[in-house]
Structure 1
């Protein structure tokens, strides 16, 4: 009778051990299920070790980052999640130049801004910028031209062309 109880106890322990082992998925099984959950997020990857899932990659916003973590949290066998997903919003489109000279040489745009600030005090001068060269036309007194020339030279253009300027 004693052997019968001992045999039954050993059989129960063996059955319990088999059930306990069967209920815990392996890392490869977890990896497969996690990959399925992340299939709609091609820029996100996952690595599983001892039931710990490490997420990596890029997401366009914080909501997508959190969504990836939530999707993985529901997978059976996941003990914890390390979310290393970086939020990288899409790059802003490059500004569109409306002026063909600005399209040819973007550095001219900064020069144009400086020239516009300076020339507002010189109503007789017409000034344009192209390829780093400031061209001055119109009519100015000698004193005003000297002041304007010094200010324009301070912007460090390639050169200042005043061949079309009439100095009185």
Structure 2
């Protein structure tokens, strides 16, 4: 009976020792988060690491997963990182097309004169404030490089 109790006590002590040595989720999370790039969020549940956030490219996504897997106590890594989409190129209308469209846009504003040079629309003359908002919306939709507003607002 004494041997059984002693053996049972040793098994319990050994189990507690090994459970106590296992890294805690909070410690794993802190260690992984410290090594990850800015913008990456780390969550840990029972040794399973989940990465969320946005990264610049696929290489950064793979690197983040590799960093997480290398940490002691990590069982699995769920990589839910998204790659930022590439910025769309800025489209600037050509002068002949832009000039034609600008003339059409300002025809309803008889006191406004518009010129186009190198993608820049220059406005001169007079306009009322409510009409200015409408005109600027129409001109911005034409995608000029810039609009120089030299109008007098009445």
Q: Identify whether the pair has TM-score above 0.5, normalized to the shorter chain.
A: yes
> How far apart in 2 are the matches of 1:12 and 1:112?
90
Partner residue, 2:96: 112
Separation in 1, partners of 2:75, 2:44: 10
Q: Which has the larger radius of gyration?
A: 1
Unaligned runs of 5+ residues in structure 2 are 108-154
Q: What are the within-5 Å matches in structure 2 for residues 31-70 of structure 1?
A: 31-38=29-36, 41-70=37-66
Q: Which residue of 2 is the match for residue 77 of structure 1?
A: 73
The answer for unaligned runs of 5 or more in structure 1 is 96-105, 116-128, 134-156, 160-168
CA RMSD of aligned residues (A): 2.6
Aligned match of 1:27: 25
- Pick aligned residue for 1:6 from 4, 7, 17: 4
Match of 1:118 in 2: none
Which residue pairs with 1:132 in the alignment? 102
Dislocated runs of 4+, deviation >6 Å: none
Q: Are residues 110 and 93 of structure 1, via their aligned partners in 2, closer, same or farther at CA, if it must alter by over 3 Å?
A: closer
Supply the distance in 1 between the matched residues of 2:29 and 2:53 (Cα, whole angstroms).
Answer: 16
- Size of the aligned set, in residue pairs, is 106
Instruction: Return the alpha-carbon distance in structure 2 between the equivalents of residues 92 and 110 of structure 1.
Output: 18
Distance 1:21 1:44 in 2: 29
Could you tell me the TM-score, scaled by structure 2's length? Answer: 0.58
Greater relative contact order structure (CA < 8 Å, 6+ sep): 2
Q: Alpha-carbon deviation of 1:112?
A: 2.3
Q: Note the C-alpha offset of 1:15.
A: 2.3
SS of 1:28's equivalent in the other structure is: helix
Provide the TM-score with structure 1 as the length reference: 0.53
Partner of 1:76, secondary structure, is coil
